[in-house]
Amino acid sequence: MSRYAAAHAKPEGEGDSRPSALQIVQDEGLVNRFIGKVMIVTGCSAGDFQLNLPIHCEPQQPVLVTRSYSSGYGCLLAWHISDGLKSARALLSFICLACTQNHVLSICQAMLHSGCCGPVAGGIGIETARALHATGADIFVTLRDQNKGEAVVEDIRSKSQGKGKVELLLLELDSFKSVRAAAEGFLRRSKTLNVIVNNAGMTATEQTAWHIHFGYEHDEQLSAEIDQSHRSVQSRWETRTRDGCTGTMPNQIAECYLQPFVAAVLAITNPFKSCVASIMSCPEGRTQDGFETQFGTCHLGHFLLFELLKPTLLASSTPGFNSRVVSVSSLGHRASPVLFDDLDFKKSGYQPGKAYGQAKTANIWFALEIERRYGPHGLHATTLHPGGIWTPLQKFTPGVKEQYKDNAPVQKYMKSVEQGAATSVYAAVSKDWEGRGGKYLENCAESVAHDGSGMDGYAPHAYDAAAAQRLWDLSLKLVGQA
């Protein structure tokens, strides 16, 4: 039985007695005990940015600037605008597209340096990396862009008691070219690799800027007018960028681009109408290599990264500490097994939740097959559900957290981000998992079958060994490693 069983038996919500990621390291007696070991943690998002510009409409909450994409997609900005009535609230989402990543990042930097923008806590990736660094190991964190990555590296270095290095790897899991470049970059800098934590991946609550769809209570006229306003702002932005104007300061950005858009939206929006632009469901899309977005990002990108680094993982394994691969799955895997005859949902029709379930099942089968193939050679794999965690995105999305605010069991089930990273760290370093793997974990323990009630537990298809072997063989072909 896990030493944390009692703490998880009666959860009391965020910050309760359930362990944090750092507590796992401390309880295992591993603070600065892994000096010389090397670990990779993917998906160490720096989180979002709160933008507090004096836009002439008073935001009900700060503007939220989410992730920038290295392929130049830009920033999605969203805020709540109140019409002054308690019951009327609108979520207005729009996109500022820049021609280059550097322009977007320079804007974010300027906002940070001017003090009008500050970071919001990121996801469990950065907390996983922070705790693992406390072991004294050298940590490589992966992010999509240089500026955010450097900020994460500095944040971990400045606050951690660990003596190891923290280094950045640029990685876009939806691009095999980027995965190969990241693997090559790592191998130029390290000949050792003891642990990979596959944390990154697109979930059902994430989407790229190109995938935002405006939908306002099925009001086609209103939607068309807002889209037209958005395109006008986008055109002005791109024209200015092409003209070489890259030094725009935050207040000028607001004046030239944000305010006209807001004004246009407010001018054509009935102030008593609640308008919603959904950002909680990943629409159908393709990776840069043409695969369904969630499957390609959550599974194929990590699969290729493992294949490229596998020789180093095997060579780094020792009798005292076998190498480990930890993949963050989700209870969402229960939504679907891998659909071998319809991976891209062209036959059955795309369903975001089902696509997410397929991708998370693939994470589990990935771990099963690593264990079967390489466990005897000192390389083990586990997978896990981190628990329920309110992310920054959920906090700024009406209806999600609000829906469960009066649901006591759900509120008690939720964890803080630091607690959400605990099972990842437990799988990565605990003596409980020395020399073994092939299991699905949650709450810092091996999980049990879902009994049809409650939130925890795995689906019957989770331990389908034949399907796991089939997925492995197929994945080798899909990533060009067969």
Return phi, psi of residue 91, to 5°.
-105, 115
Q: Which of 354, 360, 415, 439 is catalytic?
A: 360
Catalytic-role residue among 160, 329, 416, 424: 329
**C-beta of residue 375 within 8 angstroms of C-beta of residue 323:** no
Q: What residues are paired with 139 via a beta bridge?
A: 39, 166
Q: Are 458 and 449 a contacting pair, CB within 8 Å?
A: yes
Q: Is 356 a catalytic residue?
A: yes
8 Å CB contact between 339 and 362: no
Determine whether 329 is an active site residue. Answer: yes
Nearest to 235 by CA among 260, 212, 215: 260
Q: From the candidates 356, 374, 426, 440, which is the catalytic residue?
A: 356
As a whole number of angstroms, the distance between CA 476 and CA 368 comes to 15
| Alpha-carbon dihedral 86, 396, 219, 258, rounded to 10 degrees | 100
Catalytic, 37? Answer no
Strand partners, 90: 81
Q: Is 212 left (phi over 0), alpha (psi -120 to 50) or beta?
A: beta
CB atoms under 10 Å from CB of 340, counted, come to 10
* DSSP bridge pairs for 59: 81
Which residues are part of the catalytic machinery?
329, 356, 360
